[in-house]
Amino acid sequence: MLLNDQQELEAKYLMNTYKRKPVAFARGEGIHLYDDNNVEYLDFLSGVGAVCVGHANPAVTRAIQEQAAKLIHVSNYFYIEGRGELAQRLNALLNEGTTTANNAEGNFSNNWKVFFANSGTEANEGAIKIARKYGAKYLQGADTVISARRSFHGRTLAALAATGQPSKQESFQPIPEGFKHVDLNDISALKQALNQGAGGVHVCAVLLECIQGEGGVYPCTAEYLKAARELTEAKGILLIIDEVQTGFYRTGTHPFAFQNYEISPDIVTMAKGIGNGVPVAAIAARGIAGSVLEAGDHGSTFGGSPLVIAAANATLSELERMGIGQQVSETGEYFQKCLLELPGVVEIRGKGLMVGVEFEKAIAEQVVAAAFEEKMLLNNIGHHIVRFLPPLICTKTEIDILVSKLKKIVTNTLEQAQ
């Protein structure tokens, strides 16, 4: 059996960095996964928010197959088909709601320069490099990046240092310097951090998630994010928005979460939903920030390869074809309304199909485990929060199935916890 074979091989040959569930998936279709015995699972995790247009989406699969038959990799020393077009499409999405009409050359009100990477962590690392060089060149050597407590920006060392979760940093000291953390939604704390030093020039950037995903699905308030934009802009400090989990309609109507707040950051990092599960990510920077990096400053062997470019272009085409933004908004509102029927809930947070349920009692891990036994894939953050990140093609029918089973699971779990 696939599961038994893989458990034995991985126990012997793989590093023990994941607590895997006892299942081996062999195929997927839409919002469902199937194990090696063809047992069906309802997927409300979607590869941690990456599989946005569904497993084995025919259009994305076809694009990958056709590209693989032509050309997979040549490195970034050469031009390839589709990369410039993908960057142009990202420009249009990033400018949605703030653009003037495109002219014949495809120019936008903000011209974003793009760098393609392989993961959200890499995108954030690249954004930090841009901020550091920008600070050295334009802010008298400023090198400090401010981020929020509870944030998550990745697991490589600089991204980990930016992450506002000390428990994830403890085993890897000393972590890189030049990072400061403040409480999310505390405008006075942010203002104080920006004003330290001579005119605040020691700070080169503020790095924020509009909704903290790995931290527990905590959103920024509109007042806070607008204040962050005004404060940084007044001092010439860069505002970086991490859209790794929130991007590509995960939060509903708009392509990116920051567009719900009517601000325009200087740098946006993105990954996950851009390629429907294929490892592709990007950094987009506008204005001076977009021209900071020069030849030799940054690179990636596999970033923006022909294969992932084809997958990303196909994924964006599918999102456009589906008119997914409105659908996600409607199903997300319905989902949160249904979740209110669960017992023992303290708060429901999130937007679109990025939702967290916080329970009064520490039952989240037990709920996720029981849901797995009922062939539903969920995720818990700590002991109190269950997180939902279904494929964006999720419908009210699947939500009804999930919530119906969850009511029984949560009720039973609460009774056992008494």
What percent of the chain clears pLDDT 90, i.e. is strictly above it?
Answer: 94
Residue 108 has pLDDT above 70, yes or no: no
Residue 400 has pLDDT above 70, yes or no: yes
State the amino acid at position 95 in one-letter form. Answer: N
Q: Is 416 exposed, middle or buried (0-12, 13-18, 19+ CB in 10 A)?
A: exposed
Average pLDDT over the chain, rounded to whole? 95
What percent of the chain clears pLDDT 70, i.e. is strictly above it?
Answer: 96
Architecture of domain 2-57+324-417: Alpha-Beta Complex (3.90)
> Residue 201 has what pLDDT?
52
Q: What is the mean pLDDT of residues 303-324?
A: 98
Q: What is the mean pLDDT of residues 387-400?
A: 98
Residue 346 has pLDDT above 80, yes or no: yes
> Residue 417 has what pLDDT?
83
Domain 71-322: which CATH number of 1.20.1290.10, 3.40.640.10, 1.10.3720.10, 3.30.310.160: 3.40.640.10
* Domain limits, the chain: 2-57+324-417, 71-322
pLDDT in tens, 144-181: 999 999 999 999 999 999 999 999 999 999 999 999 99
Q: CA–CA separation, 65 vs 137, rounded Å?
A: 45
DSSP bridge partners of 350: 355
Residue 199 has pLDDT above 80, yes or no: no
**241 in Cβ contact with 267 (< 8 Å):** yes
Residue 198 has pLDDT above 60, yes or no: no
Q: Is 7 exposed, middle or buried (0-12, 13-18, 19+ CB in 10 A)?
A: middle
Q: Is 180 exposed, middle or buried (0-12, 13-18, 19+ CB in 10 A)?
A: middle
pLDDT in tens, 264-276: 999 999 999 999 9
> Residue 356 has what pLDDT?
98
